[in-house]
Amino acid sequence: MKKLIAILSLILLTGTAVSAQEKEQAKQIIEVKGVCEMCKKRIEKAALDVKGVRSADWSIADQQLTVYLNPKKTTGKEVQEAIAKAGHDTKTVKATDEAYNNLHGCCKYER
């Protein structure tokens, strides 16, 4: 009987911990300039390399990056800065000319 109570307590505590982690996630949608699948990989990798970003998915069609992040560890601005360093403009953070010029020819978007 004690084992059963201990197991049930553990299950309840685990469920509470998972719920708390889910609450620490924030969804952000960020406009990011790009053109192709290579851009998609680069943009998503730049976002995922930011500590606190749980997932990132960039849509070629609508030029939007959907990011789930932990707001205690990072901000949308930090994600945008990482993407700009990779050579892609966001609505509020622009890539340097040097970063943009380092993009592959097919990845050059209209600035």
Count of structural domains, the chain: 1
CA angle 29, 77, 110 (to 5 degrees): 70
How far is 105 from 19, CA to CA, in rounded Å?
45
Q: Determine the pLDDT at residue 24.
A: 77
Whether residue 10 lies inside any domain: the answer is no
Backbone phi and psi for residue 31, each to the nearest 5 degrees, phi listed first? -75, 125
**Going residue by residue through the chain (111 aa), what tens digit of pLDDT does each one get?**
655 555 555 565 555 444 445 567 899 999 999 999 999 999 999 999 999 999 999 999 999 999 999 999 999 999 999 999 999 999 999 999 999 999 999 999 999
Does residue 73 lie within any of the structural domains? yes
Judge whether 54 lies within some domain: yes
What's the CATH number where 95 sits?
3.30.70.100
Domain with 92 in it: 25-107
Taking CA 26 as the corner, what is the angle to CA 17 and CA 66, rounded to the nearest 5 degrees?
A: 130
Give this prediction's pTM: 0.79
How many angstroms separate the CA atoms of 23 and 36, rounded? Answer: 33
16 occurs within a structural domain: no
Q: Would you say residue 60 lies in a domain? A: yes
Asked whether the beta carbons of 49 and 86 are under 8 A apart, the reply is no
14 occurs within a structural domain? no
How far apart CA 27 and CA 74 sit, in angstroms, is: 12
In a domain, 90, yes or no: yes
Task: Say if 74 falls within a structural domain.
Answer: yes
C-beta neighbour count of 108 within 10 angstroms:
15
Residues facing 55 on adjacent strands: 68
